[in-house]
Homo-oligomer: A and B are copies of this chain.
Amino acid sequence: MSDELHDTDNLPAALTSTPTSRRGFLRTASMTALGAGALVACGKASVAEAASEASTSPAGPPPAPLSPRAAADAMDAMHEKGIKAFPAKTEGKGNQIMAPRIEKGVKVYDLTAKVVQWELEPGRTAEAWTFNGVVPAPQIRVKEGDRLRINLKNELPESTSIHFHGLELPNDQDGVPFITQPPIKPGDSYVYEFTVPNAGSHMYHSHHNSAKQVSMGLLGAIIVEPKDKSGEPKVDVDYVLILNDGAHGFTLNGKSFPATEPIVAKLGQKVRIRYMNEGMMIHPMHLHGMHQTVIAKDGWPQPQPWKCDTLNIAPGERWDVIVNCNNPGTWAFHCHILPHAESEHGMFGMVTALIVQK
């Protein structure tokens, strides 16, 4: 892993030198895993074969099988390349805090739902349905009692809506077409406006044709700070981590390893991680080296904090944890459903790191 977080200048060269590319394989592996057959597929795909193919010209005779050691070296080289590439640069970054306009005391956010091409990891780009062109959508951070207005312009080819998942809003702001509002047609605009109710880690996402629209990227975080902060833990890093497993494969904040973002803290600091699952599967997130202290579920404080190292996060859930960064080093941090995180060709998908700097 590079000391400098973005020193990935030599990444494309490294990867393009392998005709049977790591990236192509991973795209396939990720899709296969959705059908729960990933492991079997991995078991049959021979790294030795892949490496042999990589070392001969396409038109040449069938290659001789590699020796076990050479096959192991070939596999390890792919693993190493992935890790050395981390964190890999890609176009676009989602989940960044968006500053509102203030209009007569109202915090106003302008969102446009639109289709873009989204780079998931170097060289792997897919169609994404987004708010403001990014996956996850811009992060909204407000306070209990704030007056909030969302101007939504729909530039998608389908109708849409926004549900503020976790906020206890008046019914007409709940965002469910034909139950609380009409669908917002392509080309139309719609305004949500409300006083922010309950504090906590919440989400906003499409609630129309949602199995497709959320999978394609119409999702983001809305974090509500409490009026009374006396019960809030004091932390040095406050990090929102959105898990997904839909049309874009296995992602953390809209990117797949090695393009995921490490969390960086200094020794002795405290990190708050706000997990959110926008996918269709559970993801038990395992942090190496330090435990996680669970403090809230769906924005509500747990009656007493409790500790774990692997926290199971189901679709629609949010969990807030605190990590006491008392163990220096670069720590793997990944979903522990292993086919969501590693294949014979190296780590991919739902992998990142917590870097505790001395």
In the complex, which of the residues B284, B290, B308 contacts A168, with contact meaning CB atoms closer than 8 Å? Answer: B290
User: How many Å lie between the Cα of A300 and that of B321 in the bound state?
Assistant: 15
User: Chain B's nearest CB lies how many Å from the CB of A246?
Assistant: 6
Residues of B within 8 A of A302 (CB): 306
Q: Once the chains bind, are A306 and B303 in contact (CB under 8 Å)?
A: yes
In the complex, which of the residues B34, B176, B342 contacts A210, with contact meaning CB atoms closer than 8 Å? Answer: B342
Q: Once the chains bind, are B211 and A39 in contact (CB under 8 Å)?
A: yes
User: Chain B's nearest CB lies how many Å from the CB of A306?
Assistant: 5
Contact status of A215 and B39, CB under 8 A, knowing A306-B300, A353-B179: yes
Query: How many monomers of this chain does the complex have?
Result: 3
Q: Once the chains bind, are A186 and B69 in contact (CB under 8 Å)?
A: yes
Interface centre among A69, A72, A83 (most CB of B within 10 A): A72
In the complex, which of the residues B174, B198, B247, B315 contacts A284, with contact meaning CB atoms closer than 8 Å? Answer: B315
Interface string of A61-88 (1 = CB under 8 A from B): 0000000110111011001100110000
Q: Once the chains bind, are B310 and A317 in contact (CB under 8 Å)?
A: yes
Counting CB contacts under 8 A, is A169 at the interface? yes
Instruction: Show the binding face of A for B, using Cβ within 8 Å.
Output: 1, 34-40, 42-43, 68-69, 71-73, 75-76, 79-80, 83-84, 157-159, 163, 165-166, 168-172, 174, 176-180, 183, 185-187, 198, 207-212, 214-215, 246-247, 280-282, 284, 286, 288-291, 297-300, 302-310, 312, 314-318, 327-332, 336-339, 341-344, 353
